[in-house]
Chain A
Amino acid sequence: MVKMDLELITTLFRTSIRMATPILLASLGGALTYHAGIINVAMEGLMLISAFFSVVFSYLTGSALYGILAGMLASIAISLLYSVFVSFLKANNFAIGFALNILVSSLTLFLMRVMFQGKNAFNSPDIASIVELKLKTGNYFLDNYIFNFSILTYLSILIAFLLAYVIYRTSFGLRLRVCGEMPEALKAAGIKVGFVQLWSSILCGALCGLAGAQLSLYNVRMFSRDMTGGRGFVALAAILISGGKPKRILLISLLFGVFDALSVKLQSEKIAPQFALMLPYIMSVVVLLLFHLKTRKRLKNA
């Protein structure tokens, strides 16, 4: 009995971590653009295009690494496009973001049909998946809770701490934050606002690229239509709740990962599957709601 419960918790934990990783990566990327003053609604598209190209290149080269790199490049390309439109051409942020999301959604489907004559999904045993940090120490806790996760998971946690340092202690971070808070001050200081935003976009693209690769080369091992399923917006919610602070993002992403895992678990129970699938989105709204209620209370009591 006890062992079964432990198995359950372990599975839940491992699934949570697995689900949390893409959200964490995307949120960290989006946090950079957030500090630079852009509410990034294109993360969905960034992740999706990376998911696609990761699978394609992993399939073609047999190496997950090339897949990841290809995915990142694709993501960075779209991110650059986003940045050019929003930072330099001063187009509307939401408009371009959604246009890009739709572009990527249609484009990946289009490319998949052209390249693979596939239906709505592309699956093949030749797709190489991302390696795990495989280690068998014999200790149950270590083996299941610390080791044997995708290397991107470990990388993402590292990046979270790295970004906390970069954003709040370095010159780049200072300029980034000023860019979002008061771009005129940056301009008057002689720094080009557009380039700061551009760099934040490139880094965001890279991180979302990693997120997409994790989705299609580890969490599952295929590409299917619109497989990001709104995660890009869950990441946005995470960023807004945490105010762009990387350590908080780490916690929130884990929380969302738990919700995701619960939804997978509940699907095999008697509860109708749709409620489980709804959970991450409802939770995003609820968490945002609580956050705003708390802020409102604080303002009232001030």
Chain B
Amino acid sequence: MSVYSGAPLGAPVSYRGVLQILTCKSVSKTYPNGLEALKEVSFDVRRGEIHAIVGENGAGKSTLMNILFGMIKPSSGEITFKDKPFSPKHPSEAIDLGMGMVHQHFKLVQSITVAENVVLGMENRFQNKLRKIDMAEVNRSVASLIEKLKMSISPEDRIEGLPISKRQQVEILKVLYRDTDFVILDEPTAVLAPNEVDDFLEFVMGIREMGKTVVFISHRLGEVFAIADRITILRRGRVAGTFEKKEVDRESVANMMIGSAIDLSEHPEDSLKSDVVLSVEEICDVSGTLKDLSFELHEGEILGFAGVGGNGQEELFEALAGNLKLSSGDIKLRGSSLKDHDTFGRRMAGLAYITDDRMRKGLAPDRSIIDNSIAGHHKFGKFGKVAINNSKARAFAESIIADYDVRTSKNGKTTVSALSGGNMQKLLVGREIAFEPKVLLAAQPTTGVDVAARKLIHDSFRKLSKAGSGIVLISGDLEEIMDLANRIIVLYRGRAVAEMSYPHYDSTEISYYMTGIRGSQDVHCSNAQP
């Protein structure tokens, strides 16, 4: 019994029923902690179109998608899917009706194979009388779909060995393996390098040619305008509008997303000084990822590290922060070695850290804003030596809240988990910059953050570098790096394969280095001129 619809790629599927395949009427969602994530959201999706949903984080995109897929329940409102009332209590109901979702955070099981992940949930169709799974049949069935979609993975690959872009292919496989005709893609290009994005967008258009309806969530307007038929803009839980692509342009959509004209073209400040504040000398870490990496960071400089995730960015951050031991090489802050200092010691020496995982490493979500704000600072005696000076602590937290526009209902006492992603990040950034560090290590500082918060964070970086600090900026967002960095180093397989200085930036060039098309044969790194 074939579980794939069997239609060859490109064959149109006849339309049945009303033009709208999905309608949402006044859908609202208020979380138990009081956060109103969605307010009376109404829009519709037409059969066979690519419908983009854009918005800042905190706008409600994730909440909306989770409601559609049955992961959470709306507080009020009506949804109609394929002409019938739709209120799934569990993803199984959404899946049964032909809905599929490719999540932003992959839900793949590491220890089992591609095929096992794909058929999970339907694997009992491959059982014999003794309930034993016929793996050969499973692999065959998955392999045929892989071939149809022209993907380059094998059903027997284990997830733990696959790079991120291939894992995404597995996620897509999971969705298309079932009789899905409504596909939701949640920020799918977040993990891709620039030249991979074009292929992916073509792939999405191919899915539309197959007759499927696609809902495409993104905040990268370039992609949206490349493939979407219609665009719905979410802003702070409400629908700001739904438009045909020809009715709008990038600037006006951005305008509607945040409510004021933004400047899409920023450029790096020039506050470079000649003194070297951080010197990294041929470091190799114990996990073997970084290979003889060397660079120098100057005072007032923002040094950007570009690269697709998995090429050593995390290791670089952890090595600089002191969490990952070096097997060789040295790190020197203003001439004195940091090698033997642990994370805390490096903080005392003048480093600050913006980690890429705010929920797990940057903050303690179930504690208050005050508790989170004073973390680290408390070691410097700012709030007392043994006992806590509560009024000083509160004042400190409140100054961060004010300076970084952290939106909260009860000031310092609010639990951090009640904040939206963007506000959490602003809090984190504010706290770290408050250390007035000599060097700020920032990893993915604006992931999951709305446009206004992003601008605020970028401005705070510029301000910090103007004051003389150096910033190491590690980011998968090339636009961000190009907006901020005075110099860009491209990381590939743990090596610095290219280096460029502003204004000689070329994103296509950079993406070639990022994907190893250029520069990967070089053994020696640093200062490879483009």
Contacts and interface: CB of A to CB of B under 8 A. Distances in A.
Answer whether A and B touch in the complex at a CB cut-off of 8 Å: yes
Interface of A: 165-166, 169-172, 174-175, 177-178, 181-182, 184-192
B184 to A, nearest CB: 12
Interface in B60-99: 71, 90-92, 95-96
Contacts of B34: none
Given A172-B131, A178-B109, A178-B112, A185 B117 contact: yes
B104 to A, nearest CB: 12
A191 B101 CA distance: 15
Nearest to B108: A185
A192 B133 CA distance: 20
A181 B111 contact: yes
B120 interface: yes
Contacts of A178: 109, 112, 120
A187 B71 contact: yes
A166 B101 CA distance: 30
Given A188-B101, A190-B121, A191-B92, A181 B131 contact: no
Given A165-B132, A187-B71, A191-B121, 15 more contacts: A170-B133, A175-B123, A177-B112, A178-B109, A178-B112, A178-B120, A181-B111, A185-B107, A185-B117, A185-B120, A186-B121, A188-B101, A188-B107, A189-B95, A189-B174
A181 B107 CA distance: 11
Contacts of A186: 120-121
Given A182-B109, A191-B92, A192-B90, A174 B71 contact: no
Contacts, number: 67
Contacts of A175: 120, 123
Nearest to B131: A170
A167 to B, nearest CB: 12
Contacts of B133: 169-171, 174
Given A185-B120, A188-B91, A190-B90, A169 B132 contact: yes
Contact of A192 (B92, B123, B174): B92
Interface in B115-156: 116-117, 120-121, 123-124, 126-127, 131-133
13 contacts: A169-B133, A170-B131, A170-B133, A171-B124, A171-B133, A175-B123, A181-B110, A182-B107, A184-B107, A188-B91, A188-B101, A188-B103, A190-B92
User: Which DSSP category, helix, strand, loop or mixed, fits chain A's interface?
Assistant: helix
Nearest to B122: A189
B123 A174 contact: yes
A171 B91 CA distance: 19
Which of B96, B107, B110, B123 has the most chain A CB within a 10 Å cutoff? B107
A191 B71 CA distance: 12
Contact of A171 (B92, B112, B131): B131
- Contact size class for B? 20 to 34
B266 to A, nearest CB: 37
Contacts of A184: 107
A177 B116 CA distance: 12
Contacts of B120: 174-175, 178, 185-186, 189, 191
B113 to A, nearest CB: 11
B429 to A, nearest CB: 28
A169 B133 CA distance: 6
Contacts of A170: 127, 131-133
A146 to B, nearest CB: 28
- A-B interface, 3 closest residue pairs, ranked by CB to CB distance from nearest: A190-B92, A189-B121, A185-B107
Given A188-B91, A190-B90, A190-B95, A181 B109 contact: yes
B98 to A, nearest CB: 12
A178 B111 CA distance: 9
Nearest to B175: A188
Contact of B96 (A174, A189, A190, A191): A190
Contacts of B111: 177, 181
Contacts of B123: 171, 174-175
Nearest to B105: A184
Contact of B91 (A165, A169, A187): A187
Which of B95, B109, B112, B126 has the most chain A CB within a 10 Å cutoff? B109
Contacts of B116: 174
Which of A172, A189, A191 has the most chain B CB within a 10 Å cutoff? A189
